[in-house]
Amino acid sequence: MKFKSRDLSAARRILKIRDLRVGLSGRPDAEPVLDGIDLDIHAGETHCLVGESGSGKSVTSLATMGLLPKDALEVQGGQIDLEGFEITSATPQQMRRLRAQRIAMIFQEPMTALNPVLRVGEQIEEVLAMHTDLSQSDAKARTLDIMEQVHLPDVDRIYAAFPHQLSGGQRQRIMIAMALVLDPDLLIADEPTTALDVTTQLQILKLIEEMQERHGTAVLFITHDMGVVAEIADTVSVMQKGRIVERAPIRTLLTAPKEEYTRKLLTAVPNLAPRAGRAAPDAAAVLRVEGLEMTYGGGWFRTAGGVRAAQDVTFDIAPGRTLGIVGESGSGKSTVARCIMRLIDPTGGEVVVAGTEIAQMSRRQLGPHRKHFQIVFQDPYRSLNPRWTVARSLCEGPINFGTPKAEAMARAAELLELVELPRDAMTRYPHQFSGGQRQRIAIARAVAMQPDLLVADEAVSALDVSVQAQVLGLLEDVQKRFGIAMLFITHDLRVAAQICDDVVVMQKGRVVEQGAATDVLTNPRHSYTRSLIEAAPGRNWDFANFRALGGAQAEQGTTA
Amino acid sequence: MIAYILKRLLATIPVLLIVAIFVFLLLRLTPGDPAAILAGDAATPAQLERIRDRLGLNDPLHVQFFTWFGQMLQGDLGTSLISNTDVVDMVAARLGPTINIALMTIVISVLLAVPMGVIAAWRHRTWIDVAVMSFSVLGFSVPVFVIGYILIQIFAIELRWVPVQGYAAPTDGVGAFFSRAILPSLTLATIYIALIARMTRASMLEVLGEDYVRTARAKGVRENVVLFRHALRNAAVPILTIIGTGFALLISGVVVTESVFNIPGIGRLTVDAILARDYPVIQAMILLTAGIYVMVNLVVDVSYSFFDPRIRY
Amino acid sequence: MTELPGSRHSAFQVLSGMLSLPAGARVGIGPGLAALVLVAIVVASICAPLYVPHDPLAMDAMARLRPPSSEHLLGTDPYGRDIFSRVMTGGRVSLLIGVGAAIVSVTVGLAIGLVAGFFRTVDGIVMRIMDSLMAIPAILLAIALVALNGPSLGSVIIAITVPEVPRVVRLVRSVVLSAREEPYVEAAIALGSSMPKILLQHLMPNTLAPLIVQGTYICASAILIEAILSFLGAGVSTEIPTWGNIMAEGRSYFQIKPGLIFWPGLLLSLCILCINLLGDTARDLLDPRMKKREG
């Protein structure tokens, strides 16, 4: 793996932050959100700010832009110095002139960050109208020029398009064009690729890099993804609870991290190299899916029109094994999961769970079979009824199937122990737990039914990387203990590599490749699988062991 | 677009049909003899028979319905039980004053309420916001006719700026029209302004918290441009919706206001008809107002696409 | 123009509290004051027969339209009845109609809304009927109902309820429709919970907070509509003093005796104002968007 190793200390220092403290508005005594941040960024440098949710990464960037939400947060001390200009004491008018001209920012969600009712060309042009005296035709020419620079196709058409008519990647290119049209000294990118699919992410990262080289922009890049950091960073600052705990050039940080917290973060990043496959058991398959098909809409005659969310999906899972379905958004992987759970009714094909065909059953017939298959959802904040105690949630299923209440309660208490939550969690409500803890409760709720099949639909995608590792460990633990077959839906190849025995790769509703994880992920046959693997950032680095991944892969070049 | 409007027009048919059935059943299913209800306690058997005959109450229910419905489709809403004049003519003669006052009310309301709401949201939690919200809550809390009498007391009786009551058509002179129409319009506008200002403020507050407003500020866009170019257009759909659904409130207000100011419009006609139990007039008014309401909301729905390009038909 | 100011002054906080502007979980003294005034009006109305100096129905041809005096605190009306006694007694029926209409419309609307929100088969028909009812202006529908059913208390409550029900149904249905997409409801389906159980135990609790808010607004608007119905001559029988009836009788005399409209109007407006303020406060406190997702 190639890292950036430029020496930028001689370059012009664009941003100097010293002892920055940010706290809750009007409450100087409350615990600070940012507690003494120091940061330097030089021209041409990419400085990555990494940390888990709540570490203060985004607050740092908003403070630099002077965009802290005023009724919630305020700067309570320190300096933010932009080449001699003090941002913390700037007037609103001064700040307004500074933005887009000297500092620009791009955000995580390009859909919500662009105004839905204005044409994207107008939104770029507006920057010119606010800050320059260009005539309207000059402004339009300049807008089209920057749109070409960010490699948007057919710029005349896209100029007149509305955000909802563009793809996620195109929207983010518009954001980048808008940020860079006045050639600012500093670009702040707040998780700009997190909402994008992995192949699009790669393109956007390349684009930011290209633009940076062309204009010598300093980039403050905020992310939670160590893979992305490995690809693009010159320097990395690791944040935890409002402080910067470690700062180092990228190679140093990844090979010899000094702080315990940094080591913990890095060890939790799963490897892209698949783990060794487990021996396939001899038993009959718990789940057999054959020719599964799901078509949405299409009017009265299902044959024509309609969206084919899944077609001709076939696979099976033996007890104690894990099969992963991987793919980007819109690939149909979640549709398959929901069909198998019969949360939606498939339009064709067979689903056999524990020996019973369930795809064509009526809802009423299905009732008694539901205990054989259970699901864990992505969003830990919405998958538990907020008004119910944990005990009530855990007992809901068993009581539905005739378990006496006392017995269900006793079992719930055992399960809480199994998922490593305190016993007094029984009487508490979901909002009193963290995201990871809630996901443990959701797993306990599913396991309480003693299912044969557990479907995990992006079950760790909303969690921070260290919590993710723990929950993955728990799922494997549960699987071993009860011999459950697991269907694991994920967009993240690293997670799939870590937990799956077999992998199904889906694209646009179709299976493009399937087989043992070791085969598919190391010797992909289909070009789509290959492009997915190649787009995974930092794929040649073994973060947990602070070294390159062994074998031939380590020699391949990277995007850097 | 045209196809969408046609589709929406078709969709209004079931709604209006149900309204018609409802109006039809309202009288027939009321406990007791419909003719006796309409004629009052002192009616002679001959009077009752005359009413039954006029409304066809002696026929079986479904025959009554199809007769009535068929006549209605031909624009025949019957004749008044009191004056024996054609109901459609009666309504047509009274429409002018009501339409004039209603239009004036809508113009006043939208011109005042939308800026009030925008400024209240922009200056969220300042005295301006408090003032706008106080006015809004007050507007919801004081009965229309009390507002009317307060305005009469101040501007007609104490200050003598305008006549106490009455109506003059614009053709009788613009001055005469405005001096008589301004108080009723303001009276009617109070609750409408309260409603629209409140919705504008709420919708703007939500939009001002959106990412694209943050993006606009991050671009260094001036605050007035943020408000009117970026925020208000995005906040428009709920505001339009409330203008449309609030129209029912406006029609209700017309009924009361015309009584207070002695204006010979359809509101007065309705009240007089109800007090006299002149059922053909009552059902014509319900059908007419429901039709107007449905059409106004159709126009509102279609206008969404003008403000929000994501809504395409 | 400049940036948004983050101003906060204590006087402002008091005012914003009174008007219940959304301010997180903070409740100013305003809602407390509103509750106090409302309780005072309610208690004064309920206990009116215990303390009013005159029979509110007793006419006195010798004492018509008297100015306020020690005997007649607010003077007398055109029939020589004591205005103070009538206004205080009048609140009883007005409040009863408000509370009654709120309870009936919330109950009926909840039942219809739950069914419409969960069973797609009936949803289309029920919602068409509700759309149609909403197309008829509330006042018009109410006066027509009262005109046909007679001026009894019950028929006035029904007349006010019928136009309110579709609004409640829409509210309940929209809450149910969004709640049934929640993963915890899908989890309940996966756990084999029956439809009635999901409806009552998972979905219905979500509707309670918005229904409490809606109920207070209906209560306020019912009192208002009662007054308007009486004013138009289509309210409860004129023998019963209500705020609306007193004002209706004052119509022809409002130039010589404005108190006939002013006093009941003031009490009624104050009462509705307090209910609306409490409703706004409840909405701000119960609105899930105001709550933070805390881990």
Q: Indicate the residue of B19, B122, B137 with minimum beta-carbon distance to C135.
A: B19
Cβ-proximal residues to A462 (8 Å cutoff; 6+ apart), any chain: A378, A379, A380, A435
Q: Inspect the interface and report whether the beta carbons of A384 and C294 lie closer than 8 Å.
A: no
Cβ-proximal residues to C100 (8 Å cutoff; 6+ apart), any chain: C157, C222
Cβ–Cβ < 8 Å for A207, A150: yes
* Angstrom distance (rounded) from CA A68 to CA A58: 10
Neighbours of A213 (CB within 10 A): 10
* First-to-last C-alpha distance (Å) of chain C: 39
**Chain centroid offset of residue B226 CA:** 33
Q: What pLDDT was estimated at residue C28?
A: 64
Contact with chain A for residue B310, Cβ under 8 A = yes
* Nearest Cα residue to A267 out of A450, A503, A498, A506: A498
What letters, b where the CB count within 10 A reaches 16 and e where it falls short, cover A64-97?
bbbbbeebebbbbbbebbbeeeebbebeeeebbe
Neighbours of C284 (CB within 10 A): 20
Which residues in chain C are contacts of B272 at CB distance < 8 A? none
Q: List, for residues C230-264, the tens digit of each pLDDT value.
A: 888 888 888 888 898 888 888 878 778 888 888 88
Please state the rounded mean pLDDT for residues B292-299: 90
* Angstrom distance (rounded) from CA A468 to CA A462: 8
What letters, b where the CB count within 10 A reaches 16 and e where it falls short, cover B231-268?
bbbbbbbbbbbbbbbbbbbbbbbbbbbbbbbebebbbb
Cβ–Cβ < 8 Å for A453, A487: yes
Q: Is C65 left (phi over 0), alpha (psi -120 to 50) or beta?
A: left
Burial bucket for residue C289 (CB in 10 Å: 0-12, 13-18, 19+): exposed
Which residues in chain B are contacts of A105 at CB distance < 8 A? 218
Which residues in chain A are contacts of C182 at CB distance < 8 A? 382
Contact with chain A for residue C188, Cβ under 8 A = yes
Q: Indicate the residue of B18, B26, B271 with minimum beta-carbon distance to C232.
A: B271
Please state the rounded mean pLDDT for residues B1-20: 86
Q: What is the mean pLDDT of each run of 10 residues along chain A (560 residues)?
A: 80 92 87 91 94 89 89 89 91 91 90 92 94 94 94 93 92 94 94 89 92 92 93 94 93 93 92 80 87 76 67 92 91 92 90 89 88 92 90 93 92 91 88 90 93 93 88 92 93 91 92 91 92 89 86 41
Nearest CA in chain A to C197: A400
Which residues in chain B are contacts of C134 at CB distance < 8 A? 245, 248
Contact with chain C for residue A85, Cβ under 8 A = no
Task: Show which subunits contact C, needing at least 3 CB pairs below 8 angstroms.
Answer: A, B
Tokens of A116: 């839905």
Question: For residue A486, what are the β-bridge partners?
Answer: A322, A454
Task: Report DSSP state, residue A188.
Answer: E
Between residues A280 and B257, the one the model is more confident about = B257
Tokens of C208: 């309670």
Q: What pLDDT was estimated at residue A557?
A: 40
What letters, b where the CB count within 10 A reaches 16 and e where it falls short, cover A302-318?
eeeeeebbbbebebbbb
Nearest CA in chain A to B210: A112
Give the minimum alpha-carbon distance from B179 to chain C in angstroms, rounded to a whole number.
Answer: 20
Cβ-proximal residues to A464 (8 Å cutoff; 6+ apart), any chain: A52, A53, A224, A435, A436
Tokens of C70: 């020690």
Which residues in chain C are contacts of B138 at CB distance < 8 A? 269, 273
Contact with chain C for residue A25, Cβ under 8 A = yes
Q: Inspect the interface and report whether the beta carbons of A162 and B214 lie closer than 8 Å.
A: no
Cβ-proximal residues to B191 (8 Å cutoff; 6+ apart), any chain: B139, B140, B144, B249, B253
Cβ-proximal residues to A279 (8 Å cutoff; 6+ apart), any chain: none
Question: For residue A238, what are the β-bridge partners?
Answer: A50, A246
Cβ–Cβ < 8 Å for A529, A520: yes
Tokens of A370: 């539901």
pLDDT higher than 60, residue C13: no
Q: Inspect the interface and report whether the beta carbons of A109 and B307 lie closer than 8 Å.
A: no
CATH: 3.40.718.10, 3.10.129.10, 1.10.10.10, 1.10.3720.10. Which one for B97-307? 1.10.3720.10
* Nearest Cα residue to C235 out of C86, C97, C119: C97
Backbone angles phi, psi at A37, to 5 degrees: -85, 130
Nearest CA in chain B to C253: B149
**Could you give the strand order of the β-sheet that contains A307-317, starting from the edge strand earlier in sequence?**
A307-317, A287-296, A348-353, A356-357
* Angstrom distance (rounded) from CA B243 to CA B107: 11
| Consecutive H or E run containing A180 | helix A168-180
Nearest CA in chain C to B124: C4
Q: Choose, out of C191, C198, C203, C294, the residue to mutate when testing the contact with A (most A CBs < 10 Å).
A: C191
Q: Inspect the interface and report whether the beta carbons of A130 and B219 lie closer than 8 Å.
A: yes
Angle value at C-alpha C34, between C29 and C40, nearest 5 degrees: 125
The DSSP secondary structure of A14-26, one letter per residue, reads EEEEEEEEEEETT
Pairing of strands A287-296, A307-317: antiparallel
Burial bucket for residue B207 (CB in 10 Å: 0-12, 13-18, 19+): buried
Chain B contacts in chain C segment 244-283 (CB below 8 A): 247, 254-255, 258, 261, 265, 268-270, 272-273, 276-277, 280
Q: Indicate the residue of C132, C224, C276 with minimum beta-carbon distance to B22.
A: C132
Question: For residue A186, what are the β-bridge partners?
Answer: A103, A218
Tell me the HSE value of B59 on the side-chain side, using a 13 A CA sphere.
Answer: 12
pLDDT higher than 80, residue B153: yes
C229-233 own/partner pairs: CB under 8 Å, 24+ apart: C229/C139, C229/C142, C229/C143, C229/C146, C229/C156, C229/C159, C229/C160, C231/B143, C231/B145, C231/B256, C231/B259, C232/B255, C232/B256, C232/B259, C232/B271, C232/B274, C232/B275, C232/C139, C232/C143, C233/B271, C233/B275
Q: What pLDDT was estimated at residue C9?
A: 35
Contact with chain C for residue B137, Cβ under 8 A = yes
Q: List, for residues B223-247, the tens digit of each pLDDT value.
A: 899 999 999 999 999 999 999 888 8
Question: For residue A547, what are the β-bridge partners?
Answer: A542
Q: List, for residues B182-199, the tens digit of each pLDDT value.
A: 999 999 999 999 999 999
Please state the rounded mean pLDDT for residues B207-212: 91
Q: What pLDDT was estimated at residue A298?
A: 57
Q: Inspect the interface and report whether the beta carbons of C135 and B294 lie closer than 8 Å.
A: yes
Alpha-carbon distance values, A47 to A39, A87, A239, A337, B19 (Å):
9, 19, 13, 40, 66
Tokens 């892969």, located at residue: A553
Q: What pLDDT was estimated at residue A505?
A: 95
What radius of gyration do chain B's Cα atoms show?
Answer: 23
pLDDT higher than 60, residue B82: yes
* Angstrom distance (rounded) from CA A384 to CA A390: 8
- Every domain of chain B and the residues it spans: 23-76, 97-307
Q: Inspect the interface and report whether the beta carbons of C192 and A370 lie closer than 8 Å.
A: yes
| Consecutive H or E run containing A76 | strand A73-82
Comparing A84-88, B148-152, C285-289, the range with the smallest average pLDDT is: C285-289
Q: What pLDDT was estimated at residue A194?
A: 86
**Chain centroid offset of residue B276 CA:** 23
C289 band by pLDDT with thresholds 50, 70 and 90: very low
Helices vs strands, H then E, count in chain C? 12, 0
Give the minimum alpha-carbon distance from B17 to chain A in angstroms, rounded to a whole number.
Answer: 27
**Chain centroid offset of residue A213 CA:** 27
Cβ–Cβ < 8 Å for A255, A546: yes
Contact with chain B for residue C194, Cβ under 8 A = no
pLDDT higher than 60, residue C5: no
Strand ranges (E), A250-400: 287-296, 307-317, 322-326, 348-353, 356-357, 373-376
Cβ–Cβ < 8 Å for A438, A425: no
**Could you give the strand order of the β-sheet that contains A235-240, starting from the edge strand earlier in sequence?**
A103-106, A186-190, A218-223, A46-50, A235-240, A243-249
pTM: 0.84
Residues listed for chain C: 295
Q: Inspect the interface and report whether the beta carbons of A435 and C295 lie closer than 8 Å.
A: yes
Q: What pLDDT was estimated at residue A48?
A: 95
pLDDT higher than 70, residue C19: no
Q: Inspect the interface and report whether the beta carbons of B218 and A98 lie closer than 8 Å.
A: no
Please state the rounded mean pLDDT for residues B122-126: 87
pLDDT higher than 70, residue B305: yes
* Angstrom distance (rounded) from CA C180 to CA C172: 12
The interaxial angle of helices C29-46 and C259-286, nearest 10 deg, is 130
* Nearest Cα residue to A60 out of A103, A113, A120: A103
Neighbours of B271 (CB within 10 A): 22
Query: Dihedral sign, CA of B283, B284, B287, B288?
Result: negative
Please state the rounded mean pLDDT for residues B103-131: 93
3-state secondary structure of A374: strand
Q: What pLDDT was estimated at residue C291?
A: 37
Give the minimum alpha-carbon distance from A408 to chain B in angstroms, rounded to a whole number.
Answer: 44
Contact with chain A for residue C194, Cβ under 8 A = yes
Contact with chain C for residue A92, Cβ under 8 A = yes
Q: Choose, out of B219, B221, B222, B303, the residue to mutate when testing the contact with A (most A CBs < 10 Å).
A: B219
Please state the rounded mean pLDDT for residues C220-235: 89
Q: Is C52 left (phi over 0), alpha (psi -120 to 50) or beta?
A: beta
Amino acid A339 reads C
Tokens of C100: 């009654």
Q: What pLDDT was estimated at residue C25?
A: 42
Contact with chain C for residue B156, Cβ under 8 A = no
